[in-house]
């Protein structure tokens, strides 16, 4: 159900409260998934003219799971605070004194419901952490993470229901990795309008048993970061070492990610340097170049009255990967109607050279006259 | 745990709930009692089952939401007392009605329930949740109700039964144990009750019917007595008849012999031999028989009926017979006592019925036990013909013409004969001369 449809069916007095939930509602670490509303029903008699829906199901992403909570208002008494049914978590009973927005419910404040939900999530998190006590191993994991200031503050735990058949206990940990994405060149973070949220990297670790013998980690990146780092295939995190623990593993993953980010940043700078060097070497011969990402450069070079277009493509992991040179004729067509071109990859190149060096070394090529001549 | 609610209370709660345009809540009043069922089976001595039965008699709806608790779910005892007033001690649970929601206790309901359990002091407070589900196009509405007892961790749901609702295969109307607590009803019953109930609280009709029954029973008992009497009379008469038959036979024999003698006398025989002395022993015997010797001819010949066993017994010991119970019961029917009849002791169908002279029953209790065979067959126990009784039998109207002649002849018999007869009997009866009781032989 789209948010707008939901808002239209809600009783007018309750609409402002739901607006903030549906439009801006992000609770928890996973800000990419926003709160959803489904199953709108009414508590009034069926003869009451609509819109008069006042009870619904709220889907809240939490620790890799989705909580489905029923929220019950009364359209005839819109100033009253709502009631909650916590779905399958029948034993979750927060202390009302820990919910200030419930005790001082203000129906005039549109943010009230959203704040109340956030407080409930906090209480829920504490409840889940309490449930971890059933497994000492997982409790240890949790405590060790909690002590580390880097990870302890942004942690979501979901202690799964015990499998009554096998007696197994499972848990899910969702951590926000403290990786700095701020230096990633802006051009890499495409379509910021669609994804105005924070750039996050979340590590999701799923423990399928209480003894942590089956551990499945997964890395979730916000879409722009994922794109900036080269797509989902570019990132493979190491498997969880058996017998290892999170407090060792998580920094590993963090480091990996940080390295990747650094590499991307450096690559950008390197490319910029390379293009700059080429520009200075072939200044008049430059047709065009990518001034944002520095990934392409086109030169028009002459060699003994023979003009040739040279396209230079710089790969993402530039210094490591060699740029591709494509020679394109300005005179001849191939049989398929394209300009005749030839790709040249075997030219002297070393990733350790700086841009100037590369530009110089790229010169001694047949058919490429130095325009200084 | 079992729970029941009367039909009118349930419909009243539904009415209040369905007519509210929002959620609705209230309290349930009633009582909780423990029922203990003891079952005895072959495999074990006994097993007692304790069942807690919750009965909802009434309900107290709340006029609005949050009337006794605040936003945080904290119950205000003052407001609670204002709502419940003096009915507070009758509270056994509370209910809530919400439309289109799950059948599960919500967050606030759980918090309130815990507090109510403590405040009202009812450890097993129940919570009745009504849920009204409508389909999307409002074509079907379902009213669902679940009774919870949240104090338990498991088996929280209790079945709520509404008598006379649902099972249409039962034809009769079940009266539930839920009492009618309406004041008006009690007043009316009190006013008009005197027309139907007497001072003991028993319905008057019952007493009247019982009186009719008693009267009928009395009549039956009386008839029983008469039947018995007539049976005895009949028996005596039968004996007389038999006796007279014997006498007739005897007389015939005598007459025949006399005629023979006369004939012989008329035809003199030139034989004054001592053989005459041999003959007369026979005739003298006969004559003896006619006058003095009762024993031999009175021996019951093959023509007479064999003596009944009861007669044999009676000759030996009169006291043996009263212990037999079957003849007694034929004479006197035991009286089943009606329930609720005061002053009637419990019945005893055994022979004691004879001895009991129950208040209103004019049953005849004869002093002598019934000695006959019970079927009126002839018996030769002349012992029963105590002195004086035979004379009474003369007045009986036996229609048989055969005996009319004998009536006067019987009177002519000297009474001495009878006594002699009685004395001689024991010796003639036992072939081996043993006159001891033979009561144990059959």
- pLDDT, one tens digit per residue, over B107-160 is 999 999 999 999 999 888 999 999 988 887 888 989 999 999 988 877 788 888
* Residue A99: predicted pLDDT: 92
Q: Is B438 on the interface with A (CB under 8 A)?
A: no
Report the C-alpha gap between A275 and A269 in whole angstroms.
10
In this structure, are strands A201-207 and A171-176 parallel, antiparallel, or unpaired?
antiparallel
Contact B100 A41 (CB under 8 A): yes
Please report residues of A whose CB lies closer than 8 A to that of B98: 43, 72
| Helix/strand/coil percent split, chain B, to 5 | 45, 15, 40
In this structure, are strands B2-5 and A306-313 parallel, antiparallel, or unpaired?
unpaired
Q: Enter the tokens of residue A113.
A: 């419901």
Please report residues of B whose CB lies closer than 8 A to that of A75: 22
Q: Enter the tokens of residue B3.
A: 């729970």
Alpha carbon of A244: minimum distance to chain B alpha carbons (Å) = 38
Q: Is B143 on the interface with A (CB under 8 A)?
A: no
Please report residues of A whose CB lies closer than 8 A to that of B23: 43, 72, 74
pLDDT top residue among A368 and B241 = B241
List the single best residue of A50, A90, A96 to mutate versus B (max B Cβ within 10 A): A96
* Residue B96: predicted pLDDT: 95
Q: Is residue A249 included in any domain, yes or no?
A: no
Q: Is residue A48 included in any domain, yes or no?
A: yes
Alpha helices in chain A (DSSP H): 3-9, 15-24, 100-103, 112-131, 136-147, 149-152, 223-228, 246-281, 355-361
C-alpha dihedral, B134 to B135 to B138 to B142, nearest 10°: -40
A54-78 pLDDT tens trace: 999 999 988 888 899 999 999 999 9
Cα A321 off chain centre by: 26
* Residue B196: predicted pLDDT: 83
Q: Is residue A126 included in any domain, yes or no?
A: yes
* Residue A162: predicted pLDDT: 61
Q: What's the domain range around A66?
A: 1-133
A1-48 pLDDT tens trace: 778 888 888 888 899 998 888 887 777 777 667 788 888 888 888 888
Q: Is residue A247 included in any domain, yes or no?
A: no
Please report residues of B whose CB lies closer than 8 A to that of A76: 21-22
- The three-state secondary structure class of A26 is coil
Question: What are the φ and ψ backbone dihedral angles of A7, each rounded to 5 degrees?
Answer: -65, -30
Question: What are the φ and ψ backbone dihedral angles of B266, each rounded to 5 degrees?
Answer: -70, -30
Contact A80 B66 (CB under 8 A): yes
Contact B101 A41 (CB under 8 A): yes
Contact A74 B110 (CB under 8 A): no
Report the C-alpha gap between B144 and A252 in whole angstroms.
55
Contact A102 B74 (CB under 8 A): no
Contact B107 A103 (CB under 8 A): no
Contact B107 A90 (CB under 8 A): no
Distances (CA, A) of A62 to A58, A365, A368, B137, B193: 12, 59, 60, 34, 70
* Phi-psi sector, B376: left (phi>0), alpha (psi -120 to 50), beta: left
Contact B21 A44 (CB under 8 A): yes
Report the C-alpha gap between A190 and B383 in whole angstroms.
138
Q: Is B373 on the interface with A (CB under 8 A)?
A: no
- The three-state secondary structure class of B35 is strand
The B91-99 sheet, strands edge to edge: B157-158, B141-148, B126-134, B91-99, B24-39, B47-61, B2-5, B160-161
Please report residues of A whose CB lies closer than 8 A to that of B130: none
Q: Is residue A261 included in any domain, yes or no?
A: no
Alpha carbon of A205: minimum distance to chain B alpha carbons (Å) = 30
pLDDT top residue among A232 and B310 = A232
Establish how many alpha carbons lie within 13 A of residue B303's alpha carbon, considering only the half-sphere containing its beta carbon: 10
Least confident of A17-31, A226-240, A357-371, B107-121: A357-371
Closest CA to A298 of A316, A308, A342, A318: A308
Residue A308 has pLDDT above 90, yes or no: no
Cα B257 off chain centre by: 65
Report the C-alpha gap between A84 and A77 in whole angstroms.
16
Give yes or no for a contact between B394 and B385, defined as CB atoms under 8 angstroms apart: no
How much is the average pLDDT of A250-257?
86
Report the C-alpha gap between B440 and B169 in whole angstroms.
62
Report the C-alpha gap between A189 and A210 in whole angstroms.
40
Give yes or no for a contact between B106 and A85, defined as CB atoms under 8 angstroms apart: yes
DSSP character at residue B203: B
Contact A83 B71 (CB under 8 A): no
Could you tell me the pLDDT band of residue A86, with boundaries at 50, 70 and 90? very high
Please report residues of B whose CB lies closer than 8 A to that of A77: 22, 64-65
Report the C-alpha gap between B352 and B328 in whole angstroms.
9
Contact A48 B73 (CB under 8 A): no
The structural domain count of chain A equals 2
Residue A325 has pLDDT above 60, yes or no: yes
pLDDT top residue among A372 and A192 = A192
Q: Enter the tokens of residue A105.
A: 């419910």
Q: Enter the tokens of residue A181.
A: 């994405």
Question: Which residues 6+ apart lie within 8 Å of A83 measured at CB?
Answer: A71, A72, B106, B107, B108, B109
Number of CB pairs, chain A paired with chain B, less than 8 A apart: 73
Q: Is B254 on the interface with A (CB under 8 A)?
A: no
Distances (CA, A) of B354 to B235, B317, B366: 21, 21, 8
Question: CA angle at residue A50 from A49 to A52, to 5 degrees?
Answer: 115
Given A133, A164, A185, the domain boundary residue is A133
Q: Is residue A94 included in any domain, yes or no?
A: yes
Closest CA to B161 of B84, B51, B87: B51
List the single best residue of A46, A78, A112, A119 to mutate versus B (max B Cβ within 10 A): A46
Give yes or no for a contact between A274 and A314, defined as CB atoms under 8 angstroms apart: yes
Report the C-alpha gap between A93 and A144 in whole angstroms.
27
* Residue A117: predicted pLDDT: 92
* Residue A188: predicted pLDDT: 65
Contact A96 B111 (CB under 8 A): yes
Q: Is B16 on the interface with A (CB under 8 A)?
A: no
Given A70, A101, A133, the domain boundary residue is A133
* Residue A130: predicted pLDDT: 86
DSSP H or E stretch at residue B32: strand B24-39
In this structure, are strands B2-5 and B160-161 parallel, antiparallel, or unpaired?
parallel
DSSP character at residue B6: -
User: For B67, which residue in chain A has the nearest alpha carbon?
Assistant: A80
Closest CA to B146 of B5, B274, B22: B5
Q: Enter the tokens of residue B106.
A: 């919500």
* Residue A46: predicted pLDDT: 82
Report the C-alpha gap between B235 and B242 in whole angstroms.
11
Report the C-alpha gap between A25 and A6 in whole angstroms.
14
Q: Is B103 on the interface with A (CB under 8 A)?
A: no
Report the C-alpha gap between B242 and B249 in whole angstroms.
11
Q: Is residue A214 included in any domain, yes or no?
A: no
Report the C-alpha gap between A121 and A100 in whole angstroms.
13
- Which among A77, A90, A96 has CB closest to B22? A77
Q: Is residue A372 included in any domain, yes or no?
A: no
- The three-state secondary structure class of A57 is strand
Contact B21 A102 (CB under 8 A): no
Q: Is B102 on the interface with A (CB under 8 A)?
A: yes
Per the DSSP assignment, residues forming a β-bridge with B160 are B3
In this structure, are strands B160-161 and A171-176 parallel, antiparallel, or unpaired?
unpaired
Alpha carbon of A102: minimum distance to chain B alpha carbons (Å) = 6
Contact B134 A46 (CB under 8 A): yes
Closest CA to B367 of B359, B355, B356, B353: B355
Please report residues of B whose CB lies closer than 8 A to that of A74: 22-23, 65
Report the C-alpha gap between B206 and B217 in whole angstroms.
16
* Residue B165: predicted pLDDT: 76
- The three-state secondary structure class of B325 is coil
User: For B109, which residue in chain A has the nearest alpha carbon?
Assistant: A83
User: For B72, which residue in chain A has the nearest alpha carbon?
Assistant: A103
Contact A97 B106 (CB under 8 A): no
Residues in chain B with pLDDT values less than 50? 273-304, 309-310, 312-313, 316-331, 340-372, 374, 376-442
Alpha carbon of A76: minimum distance to chain B alpha carbons (Å) = 6
Rg value, chain A, Cα = 29
Closest CA to A355 of A270, A296, A286: A270
Residue with tokens 């999701």: A204
Question: What are the φ and ψ backbone dihedral angles of B408, each rounded to 5 degrees?
Answer: -70, -35
Please report residues of A whose CB lies closer than 8 A to that of B73: 96
Report the C-alpha gap between A109 and A341 in whole angstroms.
67
Alpha carbon of A133: minimum distance to chain B alpha carbons (Å) = 20
Please report residues of B whose CB lies closer than 8 A to that of A48: 21
A 10 A CB-CB count for A203 gives 21
In this structure, are strands B2-5 and B47-61 parallel, antiparallel, or unpaired?
parallel
Q: What is the ipTM of this complex?
A: 0.78
Report the C-alpha gap between A205 and B9 in whole angstroms.
55
Question: What are the φ and ψ backbone dihedral angles of A308, each rounded to 5 degrees?
Answer: -140, 140
Give yes or no for a contact between A309 and A330, defined as CB atoms under 8 angstroms apart: yes
Q: Is B138 on the interface with A (CB under 8 A)?
A: yes
Q: Is B72 on the interface with A (CB under 8 A)?
A: yes
The answer to whether the bond into A51 is cis (omega within 30° of 0) is yes
**Would you say how long chain A is, in residues?**
373
- The three-state secondary structure class of B168 is coil
Question: Which residues 6+ apart lie within 8 Å of B86 measured at CB?
Answer: none
Given A133, A162, A195, the domain boundary residue is A133
* Residue A32: predicted pLDDT: 67
* Residue B119: predicted pLDDT: 92
Alpha carbon of A85: minimum distance to chain B alpha carbons (Å) = 5
């Amino acid at each position: 159900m789209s948010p707008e449809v939901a808002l239209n069916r809600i009783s007018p007095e309750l609409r402002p409260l739901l607006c903030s939930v549906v439009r801006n509602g992000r609770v928890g670490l996973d800000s990419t998934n926003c709160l959803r509303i489904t199953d709108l029903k009414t508590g009034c008699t069926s003869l009451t003219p609509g819109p008069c829906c006042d009870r619904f199901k709220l889907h809240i992403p939490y620790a890799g799971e989705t909580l489905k909570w029923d929220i019950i208002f009364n359209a005839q008494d819109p100033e009253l605070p709502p009631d909650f049914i916590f779905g399958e978590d029948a034993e979750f009973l927060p202390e009302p004194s820990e919910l200030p927005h419930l005790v001082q419910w203000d129906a005039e404040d549109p943010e009230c419901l959203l704040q109340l939900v956030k407080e409930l999530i906090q209480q829920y998190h504490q409840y889940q952490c309490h449930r971890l006590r059933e497994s000492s191993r997982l409790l240890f994991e949790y405590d060790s993470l909690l002590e580390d200031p880097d990870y302890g503050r942004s942690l979501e735990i979901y202690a799964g229901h015990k499998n009554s058949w096998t007696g197994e206990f499972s848990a899910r940990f969702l951590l926000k990795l403290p990786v700095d994405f701020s230096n990633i060149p802006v051009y890499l973070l495409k379509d910021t309008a669609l994804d105005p949220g924070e750039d996050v990297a979340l590590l999701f670790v799923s423990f399928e048993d209480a003894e942590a013998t089956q551990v499945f980690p997964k890395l979730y990146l916000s879409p722009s970061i994922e794109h900036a780092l080269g797509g989902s295939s570019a990132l493979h995190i190491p498997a969880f070492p058996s017998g290892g623990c999170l407090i060792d593993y998580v920094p590993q993953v963090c480091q990996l990610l940080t390295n990747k980010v650094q590499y991307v940043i450096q690559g950008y700078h390197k490319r910029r340097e390379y293009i700059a060097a080429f520009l200075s070497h072939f200044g008049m011969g430059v047709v065009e170049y990518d001034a944002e990402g520095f990934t392409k450069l086109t030169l028009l070079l002459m060699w003994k009255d023979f003009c040739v277009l040279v396209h230079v493509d710089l790969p993402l992991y530039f210094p490591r990967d060699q740029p591709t040179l494509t020679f394109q004729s300005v005179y001849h067509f191939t049989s398929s109607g394209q300009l005749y071109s030839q790709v040249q990859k075997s030219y002297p190149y070393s990733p350790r050279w700086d841009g100037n060096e590369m530009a110089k070394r790229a010169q001694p090529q047949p058919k490429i006259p130095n325009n200084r001549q | 745990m079992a729970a029941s609610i009367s039909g009118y209370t349930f419909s009243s709660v539904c009415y209040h709930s369905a007519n509210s345009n929002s959620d609705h809540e209230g309290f349930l009043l009633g009582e909780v009692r423990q029922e203990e069922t003891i079952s005895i089976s072959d495999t074990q001595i006994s097993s007692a089952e304790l069942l807690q039965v919750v009965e909802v008699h009434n309900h107290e709806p709340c006029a609005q939401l949050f009337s006794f608790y605040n936003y945080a779910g904290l119950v205000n005892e003052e407001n609670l007392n204002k709502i419940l007033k003096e009915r507070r001690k009758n509270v056994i649970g509370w209910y809530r009605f919400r439309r289109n929601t799950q059948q599960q206790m919500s967050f606030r309901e759980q918090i309130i329930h815990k507090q109510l359990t403590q405040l009202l002091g009812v450890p097993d407070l129940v919570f009745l949740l009504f849920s009204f589900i409508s389909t999307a196009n409002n074509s079907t509405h379902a009213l669902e109700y679940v009774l919870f007892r949240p104090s338990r961790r498991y088996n929280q749901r209790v079945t709520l039964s509404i008598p006379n609702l649902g099972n249409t295969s039962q034809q009769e109307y079940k009266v539930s144990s839920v009492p009618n607590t309406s004041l008006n009803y009690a007043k009316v019953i009190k006013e008009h009750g005197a027309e139907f109930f007497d001072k003991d609280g028993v319905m008057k009709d019952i007493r009247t019917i019982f009186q009719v029954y008693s009267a009928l029973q009395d009549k039956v008992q009386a008839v029983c007595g008469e039947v018995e009497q007539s049976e005895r009379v009949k028996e005596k008469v039968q004996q007389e008849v038999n006796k007279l038959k014997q006498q007739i036979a005897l007389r015939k024999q005598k007459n025949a012999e006399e005629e023979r003698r006369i004939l012989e006398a008329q035809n003199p025989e030139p034989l004054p031999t001592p053989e005459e002395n041999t003959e007369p022993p026979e005739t003298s015997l006969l004559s003896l028989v006619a006058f003095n010797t009762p024993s031999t001819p009175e021996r019951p010949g093959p023509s007479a009926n064999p003596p009944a066993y009861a007669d044999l017994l009676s000759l030996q010991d009169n006291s043996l017979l009263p212990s037999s119970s079957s003849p007694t019961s034929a004479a006197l029917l035991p009286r089943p006592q009606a329930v609720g009849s005061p002053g009637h002791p419990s019945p005893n169908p055994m022979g004691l019925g004879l001895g009991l002279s129950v208040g209103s029953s004019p049953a005849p209790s004869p002093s002598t036990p019934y000695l006959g065979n019970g079927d009126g067959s002839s018996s030769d126990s002349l012992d029963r013909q105590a002195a004086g009784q035979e004379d009474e039998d003369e007045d009986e109207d036996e229609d048989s013409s055969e005996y009319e002649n004998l009536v006067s002849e019987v009177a002519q018999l000297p009474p001495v004969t009878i006594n002699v007869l009685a004395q001689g009997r024991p010796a003639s009866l036992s072939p081996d001369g043993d006159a001891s009781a033979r009561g144990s032989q059959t």
